Amino acid sequence: MKLDRMNGLKRTHYCGTLRQENISEKVIVCGWVQRQRDLGGLIFIDLRDRTGIVQLAFDDNTEKSIFDKAFSIRSEFVVMAEGTVRMRSSVNKEIPTGDIEIEVTALKILGKSETPPFEILNDTKANEELRLKYRYLDLRRPTLQNNIMMRHKVTKVTRDYFDENGFVEIETPTLIKSTPEGARDYLVPSRIHKGNFFALPQSPQLYKQLLMLSGFDRYMQIARCYRDEDLRADRQPEFTQIDLEMSFVEMEDVLKIGEGYVKRLFKEVLGVDIATPLPRLTYTEAMNDYGSDKPDTRFDMKIKDLSDIVENCGFGVFADTVKNGGTVRAINAKNAASVYTRKEIDKLTEEAKGIGAKGLAFIRWVEDAPTCSFSKFMTEEEMNAIIDRVGAEKGDVVLIVADRKNICLSVLGALRLTVAKRLNIIPNTFNFLWITEFPFFEYNEETGNWDAMHHPFTSPLDECVQYLDTNPEKVFAKAYDLVLNGVELSSGSIRITDPELQSKMFSALGLSDEEAHEKFGFLTDAFRFGAPPHGGMGIGLDRLCMIMAGCDSLRDVIAFPKVSNSSELMSGAPSVVDELQLNDLAISLIEENE
């Protein structure tokens, strides 16, 4: 082990690595003081580094000057201690070093600390804003340190796996031409080319395709990407992507590489066996069953279509919805009746309305027979058919939405997650699956146009090309997402390499030849010189680490994250710049109207 040196002394061990087999050894440890306990003639110091905590002991046998120095030490002081490892008189089973301590014979204070704004504990009560302002202190907490070290291991295994499978790691530029990719670009003004701007890449998409045309048939990169969009728990303006591209492949080849990667990663980092091949659902199946294109399949509660049962029933809300082209769908929450009282169901109704539903019908089965507000409009046969369709039994609660198909599915998909969390029925497992056959276009009700769901180089399924000009709703893509526990980890596709089909695709997306050449000409020109069939994917490293670490927020696996308004509380970025810098860039600021 490479040893740190300081003033002629060298660290021999990390605090958390000492065990009973080190008893009687003379050791030197360095770290931060977690706490100091003064028991009169006895002082204990818990010393912490990134590997854990070890107890330093000072007693009657300790030299007085060393004892006095130990007495003066406070939390978060940085110290170096030399001594002999011995058994503890009182074992602490809460920590791995709990059966040993160091009898200190030399002590040096390397750095004093003011009282920190919050205590450095895993279960600190400090709010997140304060912790992010002092992120360098927050990062001393063992939980965050373990997350960051796990992330390091993830990146190491990633590089090892792809290297062993013939991938070449190649860096692509971070100052690029601005191209439309679905989100706003971060723009960087050019001092030399005044009035022109670079963009920070939303992904290395165009460059990795050019690398395929350059003959590097297997590329990967742990790439930094940037998107100027609103934030949430699983999104940051700057993020890291495990990016890969492969030539002379079909979709199955890309999926096989992806499956091998997650299997290797989870085994080496967490000791978890992931069964492969991973299950698959088409986009249509996922939406119909779970109301989401990134479903959490760790629990059942699938959406059921009741439209055929209620299309002629006496309940106008149901019958009229089906008559007008809508649908009636339901989920069954098993054993939920004791939790979901009428008051609790009212809360679900408000949630459903917030997503877009007009209301929420329900069946609550508490007594011998189920009860619901609409049963008087239904025949016994219709009620029994609904009960049978959703598989309801005594103790269950059935939630029903009648509306347009997309609203029904999105509302029930959201309620499905809300109910599962409330009932605490989501197991602590890792459920991967592939989502395939995504629609190529989605209908924009506001504009009346069909908008692209993917970047313009995504290839449509061969059998769908004939519908590009006439029936956009029938066009599906050679696209695939990797989903884990309801989180989209990866998106990928097989790319278009036929210039004629690419031109047709630009046209279908509303781009003229001139616009397409202006935005993507450097790539489409390259297709004229021999393009191999290729495809790839990008895996979100931050999201992957978040789930592996069992965290609820990306901020817990990123060393210096941004908050919801895209600022960094610790450094104060973004910040104003002086007039000289703006003048160099030929930029003037416009004051916003109050």
Average pLDDT value for residue range 130-146: 97
pLDDT confidence of residue 182 = 64
Average pLDDT value for residue range 114-143: 96
pLDDT confidence of residue 515 = 83
DSSP class of 277: S
pLDDT confidence of residue 205 = 92
The three-state secondary structure class of 261 is helix
Number of C-beta neighbours around residue 4 at 10 A: 12
Average pLDDT value for residue range 23-42: 96
Q: Which of 339, 338, 321, 342 is nearest to 330 (CA)?
A: 321
Structure tokens given for 365: 């089965």
Structure tokens given for 562: 């941004």
Average pLDDT value for residue range 376-400: 95
What are the backbone angles phi and psi of residue 507, rounded to the nearest 5°?
A: -65, -45
Number of C-beta neighbours around residue 205 at 10 A: 21
pLDDT, tens digit, 9 for 90 and up, residues 393-406? 999 999 999 999 99
Q: Could you tell me where the beta strands, DSSP code E, fall in 354-506?
A: 361-364, 371-372, 397-403, 432-436, 441-444, 449-452, 479-484, 487-494
Q: Which of 263, 276, 157, 174 is nearest to 225 (CA)?
A: 174
Determine which helix (DSSP H) or strand (DSSP E) holds 46, and give its type and residue range.
Answer: strand 43-49
The pTM (predicted TM-score) of the whole model is: 0.91
Q: Is 553 exposed, middle or buried (0-12, 13-18, 19+ CB in 10 A)?
A: middle
pLDDT tops 80 at residue 234: no
Structure tokens given for 179: 């191209």
pLDDT, tens digit, 9 for 90 and up, residues 532-560? 999 999 999 999 999 999 999 999 999 99
pLDDT confidence of residue 180 = 67
CA angle 184, 188, 190 (to 5 degrees): 140
How far apart are alpha carbons 457 and 479 in whole angstroms?
Answer: 11
pLDDT confidence of residue 3 = 39
Q: 528 or 396, which is more confident?
A: 396
Task: Measure CA of the first residue to CA of the last residue in the chain; give whole Å.
Answer: 61
**pLDDT category of residue 2 using cuts at 50, 70 and 90:** very low
**pLDDT category of residue 446 using cuts at 50, 70 and 90:** confident
**pLDDT category of residue 480 using cuts at 50, 70 and 90:** very high
Q: Over the chain, what is the mean pLDDT? A: 93
Q: Could you tell me where the beta strands, DSSP code E, fall in 413-556?
A: 432-436, 441-444, 449-452, 479-484, 487-494, 534-540
How far apart are alpha carbons 436 and 479 in whole angstroms?
Answer: 6
Which of 156-160, 341-345, 455-459 has the weakest average pLDDT?
455-459
pLDDT confidence of residue 532 = 95
pLDDT, tens digit, 9 for 90 and up, residues 53-112? 999 999 999 999 999 999 999 999 999 999 999 999 999 999 999 999 999 999 999 999
pLDDT confidence of residue 331 = 98
Tokens 């096989």 label which residue?
A: 256
Number of C-beta neighbours around residue 246 at 10 A: 25
pLDDT confidence of residue 469 = 80
pLDDT confidence of residue 564 = 87
pLDDT, tens digit, 9 for 90 and up, residues 449-462? 777 777 788 999 98
How far apart are alpha carbons 209 and 456 in whole angstroms?
Answer: 13
pLDDT confidence of residue 18 = 98
How far apart are alpha carbons 487 and 297 in whole angstroms?
Answer: 11
Rg, Å, the chain Cα set? 30
Average pLDDT value for residue range 215-235: 88
**pLDDT category of residue 6 using cuts at 50, 70 and 90:** very low
pLDDT confidence of residue 456 = 81
How far apart are alpha carbons 373 and 398 in whole angstroms?
Answer: 12
**pLDDT category of residue 249 using cuts at 50, 70 and 90:** very high
How far apart are alpha carbons 270 and 251 in whole angstroms?
Answer: 28
Q: Could you tell me where the beta strands, DSSP code E, fall in 248-382?
A: 280-282, 304-305, 327-333, 361-364, 371-372
pLDDT confidence of residue 7 = 58
Q: What percent of the chain has pLDDT above 90?
A: 81
Number of C-beta neighbours around residue 36 at 10 A: 19
Q: How far is CA 130 from the centre of its chain?
A: 23
**Cβ distance 132 to 153 under 8 Å?**
no
pLDDT confidence of residue 516 = 82
pLDDT tops 60 at residue 587: yes
Which of 11-15, 252-256, 311-315, 526-530 has the weakest average pLDDT?
526-530
Average pLDDT value for residue range 425-454: 87
Helices (H), 165-300: 205-213, 251-270, 283-290
Q: 581 or 469, which is more confident?
A: 581
How far apart are alpha carbons 284 and 292 in whole angstroms?
Answer: 9
pLDDT, tens digit, 9 for 90 and up, residues 286-310? 999 999 999 999 999 999 999 999 9
**Cβ distance 232 to 542 under 8 Å?**
no
Say which amino acid occupies 28.
Answer: I
**pLDDT category of residue 511 using cuts at 50, 70 and 90:** confident
